Structure 1
């Protein structure tokens, strides 16, 4: 059995259509159909149900595709590893991260990385936590920067750092604020207050990230531990947008400490949460796949920079 036949079957499974699969493989559709029929005859099982142009794998096809994907990935990893033996740290590195994490963690890291490894071509993938986890598990991302916990058992992790979480309020007092929050934001009190309890915000409108972002789940869990379910006023895919909404008096949000350090907006007020919750960022990668030299180099560069600070 030729590996190219495995790739053909995987392309059909991905596209759910012979014509689209043939286009992605740059071969003629009749040729693709003939090759899959040949493969099915060789195996003695039907791999796909062909019905009204919609192609779905049979139960036997599901089992075949799962193992075929592993074989193709192992072949690709082997080729990549052998090239690295000859060429050193070069080639392509696909890094996944959410927008807020990537925007704060990656720029200084990649600046140093590119100076050391100019022959590595870097591709950035910004998606939700759910999407990044899935893409990394599928082998479509080499290494992702995610927050614990990681639910996918195919992924292993290396700790980057742990940071605190912060409440963000508008500097200007607004009508939805309870009296104790309004009092806290008066000029005479704000200089003396550094922490705030989540319970004190239970009646405030919250601005959260959309579903699929791990940080959203962290905030909801924190609120649940504090005995309330937040009143969600707005949802966004950007923490920067969330802060802009807060700045304009539309609610309260929670952000990781890295955002506080790089934000000097005088229209926002940050408070530590008195229960001192944290989140831990990690490098995540597929534990059954070859960890490429560019991926290992990225983690090493981060460790060196982190030790200098």
Structure 2
């Protein structure tokens, strides 16, 4: 059976009239009749009962009509989806990000992605920054979001977001947004910060903010995960310095005191493989260029 034969058969099965079906198919009636006869011969069955006045499907014809309708519908769907995948309008994008990004850049990015490319699915993973580049290079991620500056010949990047830091304290802490003056007020407090890695610009920035006020933070707990740090602060185990976007993270009993009077800002960059030819990635990058990210 050929694709064209099934299409022509379904048209006759719908019209139950060879002349009307031939007009719809823009072919001569004798040619259409020959195609149906050839299909019947190939299958070894009678598909239509014909007389001078009527055309009627046989039981075998009814069965073929139902099955062929499903097959052609599936083929049409396959054809459409193949074209969408080729254009990057359907597929999957795998994103890796630090915890704070889910409260800043990820929601508007995904909202705009759904608006412009509703058939692209996203797979989200909170990834430690020291793991992110390895995951990009070994094709476990398509796009990564990172706060640390970097230089790599295989990776392209773009700064997409900038925000202030905040001092995070329990809501019953003696320091509040109303009486806060400077970080010197917490010089004797225990701190909860991410661990320091060799060459970590982000960690060094946090320490520099304190050193400018005349002290080195007394770090008593370390964690790579923002949600963990917030929970420890909430339980009065210390204070922390975190991107201000974390204030949108939950209804925890915390105060986020925005540090607008210091020069340090944290930047979030978007990174991807330079040689990646995945059309879904290129459409995602186009969407990212359309989005305005508000601190």
Structures share fold, TM-score greater than 0.5:
yes
* Secondary structure of the corresponding residue to residue 149 of structure 1: coil
How has the CA–CA distance of structure 1 residues 254 and 291 changed in structure 2, closer, same or farther, with 3 Å as cutoff? farther
Q: Is 1:230–2:217 an aligned residue pair? A: yes
Count of residue pairs the alignment pairs up: 212
How has the CA–CA distance of structure 1 residues 227 and 156 changed in structure 2, closer, same or farther, with 3 Å as cutoff? farther
Structure 2 Cα separation of the partners of residues 168 and 86 of structure 1: 47
Q: Which residue in the other structure is 1:18 paired with?
A: none
Structure 1 Cα separation of the partners of residues 92 and 202 of structure 2: 29
* Aligned structure 1 segments of 4 or more residues deviating by more than 6 angstroms: 82-85
Q: Which residue in the other structure is 1:45 paired with?
A: none
- TM-score, normalised via structure 1 length: 0.58
Q: Which residue in the other structure is 2:291 paired with?
A: 305
Structure 2 Cα separation of the partners of residues 122 and 250 of structure 1: 36
Question: Superposed, which structure 2 residues align to 1:22-37 within 5 Å?
Answer: none
| Aligned-pair CA distance for 1:172 | 1.8
| Aligned-pair CA distance for 1:115 | 3.7
Structure 1 residues 192-223: Cα deviation after superposition (integer angstroms, max 9, x where no partner): x4x64334433211111245687545424544
* Secondary structure of the corresponding residue to residue 237 of structure 1: coil
Structure 1 residues 153-204: Cα deviation after superposition (integer angstroms, max 9, x where no partner): 432211212111111122324xxxxxxxx4x44xxxx53x4x6433443321
| Aligned-pair CA distance for 1:103 | 4.9
Q: Which residue in the other structure is 1:100 paired with?
A: 100
Q: Structure 2: 5+ residue runs without aligned partners?
A: 1-81
Q: Check whether the contact 2:86–2:279 (CA below 8 A) recurs between aligned residues.
A: no
* Residue number among 204, 218, 221 corresponding to 2:189 in the alignment: 204
Q: Which residue in the other structure is 1:280 paired with?
A: 267
Question: Superposed, which structure 2 residues align to 1:121-140 within 5 Å?
Answer: 121-140=121-140
Q: Which residue in the other structure is 1:295 paired with?
A: 281
Q: Structure 1: 5+ residue runs without aligned partners?
A: 1-81, 174-181
Structure 1 Cα separation of the partners of residues 153 and 217 of structure 2: 31
How has the CA–CA distance of structure 1 residues 200 and 303 changed in structure 2, closer, same or farther, with 3 Å as cutoff? same
* Secondary structure of the corresponding residue to residue 306 of structure 1: coil
Q: Check whether the contact 1:129–1:214 (CA below 8 A) recurs between aligned residues.
A: no
